Amino acid sequence: MCLHTIIAACYRRCLHAIYCITCAVALAMTGIGLMQPALANDVAGKGYQLRQIGDGVYFLSDTAYNTIFVVSDQGVIVVDPLPTLGKKYLQAIAEVTAQPVTHIIYSHEHLDHIGAASLFPAGAHIIAQAETKRSLDHLHDPRRPSPDISFEHAYRLEVGNQLLELAYTSPNHAPGNIFIHLPRQKILMLVDVIYPGYAPYPNLGVSTDIGGTIRINRQALDYDFQTFVGGHVGNTGNRADIETSLAFLTAVEVTARQVLAEKTFPDYLKTTGLAAAGESWFAHDDYEQERVNACYTRLLPVWEQRLKGLARSLKSHCWSMIVGLAISLPPGAATGDKAY
Ligand SMILES: [Zn+2]
């Protein structure tokens, strides 16, 4: 029985108080938390949950992938046409409005977030940052057509009575990954960087720029918002989730710097004898794994109660940070403490 079926079955029995309490305790223990009964049934039945989170703004989730769409009096603005939802995205829109989709915003170029774009009306404008456009122009992937509107740093999208402010600062999770801000509704969206309540996806959210990923957490805190949408984990977050994310990334960086400083690769080689045997290259893998284990052992007790699922992915985060320090991050204080 799949997890969604279990959740739905659990809540169907919520007519009796004792079952409700049992469900709540059981689901909290699984890390799923207290999903609203109607939403749990929606995921099991329709394949998605749909929840209004602001004036005309709808949170749409299959509990692994999230996005939003915005209903204006002159059309619907879709953010990230998720392939896990496919045409169900259009079904969700039809639940709340008969307005046509007039605009599609790509948060970034990754297929797992925008791979259903070709299922949406061909006349809709597609908007993305210029790096995303360059990549999609090169890929020629029919599932995610290139945008007809692109921007370098900022784009103000006004459709009828709705305003979305798009902004790009620097590469982070991916080149071209943008902020999507709705100032009137105090909603901020940034995909694949912050996972409210959870540890990041492995390898620091498969970040292509570790320094940029840390910095964009702090830049997110400069926005005026109350609700945060992160692209994954089935729930929205808030300012505290971003503060936790920044603190965690800073802790990983500080710890990785420590474990690398405590034992350098040349020091490690002296203890193995592999250099004399001409096998230094393989020894480098062993060295990294030893330092990863040291990083993991120090961080897990401090952070495993704060971020769900951390034990599953922490070694990958330590490894990505160690590699980031080896190949790109500047020396000195932790990136999260720097004022840029
Ligand atoms: Zn991505």
Ligand 1 centre distance from Cα of residue 128 (Å)? 14
Residue pLDDT, tens place only, 43-56: 778 999 999 999 99
Mean pLDDT of all residues in 93-121: 97
HSE-CB of 308 using CA atoms within 13 angstroms: 13
Both tokens assigned to 294: 């040291």
Rounded Cα distance between 146 and 279, Å, is: 47
CA of 319 to the centre of ligand 1 (A): 19
Gap from CA of 239 to ligand 1 centroid (Å): 21
Lowest model confidence (mean pLDDT) among 28-32, 52-56, 156-160: 28-32
In this model, does residue 245 exceed pLDDT 60?
yes
CA of 82 to the centre of ligand 1 (A): 12
Give residue-wise pLDDT tens across range 66-87.
Answer: 999 999 999 999 999 999 999 9
Centroid of ligand 1 to alpha carbon of 104 (angstroms)? 17
Residue 40 has pLDDT above 70, yes or no: no
Q: What is the pLDDT of residue 37?
A: 55
pLDDT of residue 17 exceeding 70: no
Distance, CA 129 to ligand 1 centroid (Å)?
A: 14
pLDDT at 2 over 50: no
For the domain made up of 47-192, the CATH class stated in words is: alpha beta
Mean pLDDT of 160-181: 97
Give per-residue burial for 261-272: e unless 16+ CB within 10 Å, then b: eeeeeeebbeee
More confident of the two residues 195 and 45: 195
Residue-level pLDDT at 337 = 62
Widest CA span in the chain: 73
Helix, strand or coil, per DSSP, at residue 83:
coil
Alpha-carbon separation of residue 284 from 82, 270, 287, 288 (angstroms): 40, 12, 5, 6
pLDDT, tens digit, for every residue of 290-308?
A: 999 999 999 999 999 999 9
Euclidean distance between CA atoms 108 and 174, whole angstroms: 7
**Average confidence (pLDDT) over 20-38:** 41
Average pLDDT over residues 134-142: 97
Going by DSSP bridges, is the β-strand pair 162-167/154-159 parallel, antiparallel, or unpaired? antiparallel
Q: Would you say the C-alpha torsion 79, 131, 112, 174 has a positive or negative sign?
A: negative
Measured in whole angstroms, the distance separating CA 118 from the mean position of its chain's CA atoms is: 23
Residue 174 Cα to ligand 1 midpoint, Å, equals 7
Q: Ligand 1 centroid vs 260 CA: distance in angstroms?
A: 29
pLDDT classification of 24: cutoffs 50, 70, 90: very low
pTM of the model: 0.86
Instruction: Give the pLDDT of residue 32.
Output: 37
Question: What distance in angstroms lies between residue 206's CA and the mean position of ligand 1's atoms?
Answer: 8
Parse the chain into domains and list their residue ranges. 1-45, 47-192, 250-337
CA 205–ligand 1 middle distance (angstroms): 8
Residue 333: band (very low, low, confident or very high) from pLDDT cuts 50, 70, 90: low
> How far is ligand 1, taken at its centre, from the CA of residue 255, in Å?
26
Ligand 1 center to 31 CA (angstroms)? 23
Task: Give the pLDDT mean for 93-112.
Answer: 97
Instruction: Quote the percentage of the chain above a pLDDT of 70.
Output: 86
Sequence letter at residue 96: V
User: What average pLDDT is seen over the chain?
Assistant: 88
120 alpha carbon – ligand 1 mean position (Å): 20
